[in-house]
Amino acid sequence: MSFNVAIVGPGDLTGQELLKLLAQRRFPINRLQLIEGPVGLATSKPVTFGGRELEAREITSRAFRDIDIVFFCGSAELANQFATPASEQGALVIDLTGAFRGDDKTPGVIPQINAAELQHLKKRRIVASPSPAVIQLLLPLNTFRQWTSLKRLVVHSFEPVSEGGQTAMELFSAEVKQVMEGKNVVPHAFSHQIAFNVLPETENALDTGLTRSEWRIIREVRRIWKLPDLNISVMCLRVPVYIGMSQSVLVDLGKRVSPEEIREVLSDTPGVRLQDDPTVNLYPHPWQAVNQDDVLVGRIRELDSTHNTIGLWSVMDNLRRGAALNALKIAESAIEQKLV
């Protein structure tokens, strides 16, 4: 069986990655429709897929007729406007824009963790792919929950420039050039210069002192795990890296577990790859994660035996593993469950 698939925003970084994965994973496509908003359509270029050259059409509600699966990439505004009409016409809508991550009526799904949530879809067939930082955090830690409780999480998420989109990457390159030439930088992509710098924020701050991205991660983690009272602290930082998200994680466990036991469990965890040998300085680097389908984990260590505190470091391709691949796995899981 093959399916009619639409991608809204194929020119977005996640849209481009999704197109690559659809081909690499031989997703069963009968017809692929590329759709752009007026802004994206003005700069869109033909895309070669399956030996054919495809051109994007402008988005309208009628663009989703006879479509089985729709991926929304890039513009949250377009997702807010057209996801519901697409769903009403029978399509399974998978949102990567973040437009529905805060909506209690829309399940956030990481198929390796909560694919069963797809069974609850009824007339409103919209699914949110969680924030890349949440996917990176939960894929390795979810294994821990199978044999102990999690008492507290402290997360520092080092987020690359590509989380701001193609324009942010281009402006980052321009800033690097300006600094190397001894020129002053006037920031455009972020609140301050990002070249040769680290910003202790990735979005605007709330009255609580948390940034919007930090609160969103906390909310998504609690919701996906169904742990509304989970003690979790998050700090998001913007770092001068193009692609590749990194996280430093401290977790207080319900019982004492040795680093050796954790390494053994993680080595058999789908979607996770262990790189951890401190004797030879082996640990994951962001550049190593680019174009990889796994979360790379290392520097596993016991920090406080009194509170059963374990520390670890992880890296992930935020565009591929943290966005496009998760969305595609949602579609594959829905097909397996005969929901499409």
Instruction: State the pLDDT confidence band at 45, using cuts at 50, 70 and 90.
Output: confident
User: Nearest Cα to 339, choosing from 120, 71, 78?
Assistant: 120
Query: Per-residue pLDDT for 82 more than 80?
Result: yes
Lowest-confidence region among 88-92, 146-150, 269-273: 146-150
CATH number of the domain residue 10 falls in: 3.40.50.720
Model pLDDT, residue 46: 84
Model pLDDT, residue 122: 83
Neighbouring residues of 29: CB distance < 8 A, sequence distance ≥ 6: 2, 3, 4, 5, 22, 50
Determine contact, residues 327/94, Cβ cutoff 8 Å. Answer: yes
Q: What is the pLDDT of residues 114-149, one digit of tens each?
A: 999 999 998 889 999 999 999 999 999 998 887 889
Q: Give the residue-averaged pLDDT of 40-44.
A: 77
Q: What is the pLDDT of residues 2-13, one digit of tens each?
A: 999 999 999 999
Q: What is the average pLDDT value for the chain, to the nearest integer?
A: 95
Q: Which amino acid is at 88?
A: E
CATH number of the domain residue 168 falls in: 3.30.360.10
Q: How many domains does the chain have?
A: 2
Q: In the chain, what is the greatest distance between 2 CA atoms, to the nearest angstrom? A: 61
Model pLDDT, residue 147: 81
* Secondary structure element (H or E) that encloses residue 87, with its range: helix 76-88
Q: What is the pLDDT of residues 243-265, one digit of tens each?
A: 999 999 999 999 999 999 999 99
Residues 238 and 148 reside in one and the same domain = yes
Determine contact, residues 159/236, Cβ cutoff 8 Å. Answer: yes
Residues 121 and 204 reside in one and the same domain = no
Model pLDDT, residue 294: 97
Residues 143 and 106 reside in one and the same domain = no
Residues 209 and 308 reside in one and the same domain = yes
Residues 146 and 161 reside in one and the same domain = yes
Model pLDDT, residue 210: 96
Residues 142 and 259 reside in one and the same domain = yes
Instruction: State the pLDDT confidence band at 51, using cuts at 50, 70 and 90.
Output: confident
Residues 16 and 101 reside in one and the same domain = yes
Query: Per-residue pLDDT for 171 more than 80?
Result: yes
Residues 197 and 309 reside in one and the same domain = yes
User: Nearest Cα to 295, choosing from 324, 280, 315?
Assistant: 315
Model pLDDT, residue 123: 82
Determine contact, residues 136/314, Cβ cutoff 8 Å. Answer: yes
Tokens of 41: 């359509």
Residues 119 and 247 reside in one and the same domain = no
Residues 12 and 102 reside in one and the same domain = yes
Determine contact, residues 298/283, Cβ cutoff 8 Å. Answer: yes
Structural domain of 11: 3-130+323-336
Query: Per-residue pLDDT for 296 more than 80?
Result: yes
Query: Per-residue pLDDT for 42 more than 80?
Result: no
The percentage of the chain sitting over the pLDDT mark of 70, rounded to a whole number, equals 100
Residues 91 and 143 reside in one and the same domain = no
Model pLDDT, residue 43: 76
Model pLDDT, residue 114: 96
Residues 160 and 298 reside in one and the same domain = yes
